Structure 1
Amino acid sequence: MTVKYTPEHEWIQLEDHEAAVVGITLHAQDALGDVVFVDLPEVGKTYAKGEVAGVVESVKAAADVFMPIAGEVTEVNEDLRGDPSLANKDPMGAGWFFKILIKDMAEFDVLMDEPDYQKFVKANA
């Protein structure tokens, strides 16, 4: 499965050629600390790339969750809403935030791959 990353520390993983899963990166959850609340987007709502699609709150701070690429929200992680600490325990797995129907694959293609994201994190630490 192909995973890409944004400069705002979201990850997006293709499920197939038109659907993807979105969450926050390990780096993001490390920076936030213990996540205590998540505000997830509305299923059926369409967002443009870069729009705020949710909020994650921790004991340290609150941060927006940005839409990594344009798409329509098809599902949200209700388990995460019930147990926000999943974003800390397993940010790249059980702590996913929402699923989308992709509007423009070209936007996905220009996101960072894992090595580029790791370089970005180190350069901006």
Structure 2
Amino acid sequence: MARYFTEEHEWIEVDGDVATVGITDFAQGQLGDIVFVELPEEGREVAKGDDAAVVESVKAASDVYAPVSGEVVEVNSALDGEPKLVNDDAEGEGWFFKLRLSDPAELTGLMTESAYQAFAKEA
């Protein structure tokens, strides 16, 4: 599985034609305690860069953008009752949604993990 990152601090892990999307550990650290997550509806088509979800913390609310275009095929319903999962494991159990990729070529504009770590140090 390949993992990529965006400048908006989302991560995307691709397995075949389905990708799991969440926010990075850096992003959750900046937001502070997560109190609510609004997930997209399954079946929704999103374009790269679209607002796909919302994450609210004690500090602020932030949009979560679709790193690539596709159809939402699954959401992490565990976040409904336990949004703190994002703080506990942002790049694992705290994932937001899964997309079926409509254009895998869009992945080429995303950062590798090492490139993202260098980017996050500058932020």
User: What band does the TM-score fall into relative to the shorter chain?
Assistant: over 0.9
Q: Taking structure 1 as the reference length, what is the TM-score of the superposition?
A: 0.96
C-alpha displacement of 1:109? 2.2
Q: State the match for 1:100 in structure 2.
A: 99
2: distance between equivalents of 1:28 and 1:123?
13
Q: 3-state DSSP class of the match of 1:13? A: strand
The count of corresponding residues between Structure 1 and Structure 2 is 123
CA distance in 2, matches of 1:98, 1:22: 5
Deviations 1:35-67 (A, max 9, x none): 000000010000110000010000111100000
- Counterpart for residue 119 of structure 1: 118
| Cα offsets for 1:63-100 (capped at 9, x unmatched) | 00000000100000000111000000011111000000
Counterparts of 1:29-108 in structure 2 under 5 Å? 29-108=28-107
Amino acid at match of 1:7: E
The SS at the match of 2:110 is coil
Q: CA RMSD in A?
A: 0.7
TM-score, normalised via structure 2 length: 0.98
- Distance, in Å, in 2 between the alignment partners of 1:105 and 1:21 is 14
Q: 2:94 aligns to what SS in structure 1?
A: coil
Unaligned runs of 5+ in 1: none
Q: What percentage of aligned pairs have identical amino acids?
A: 54
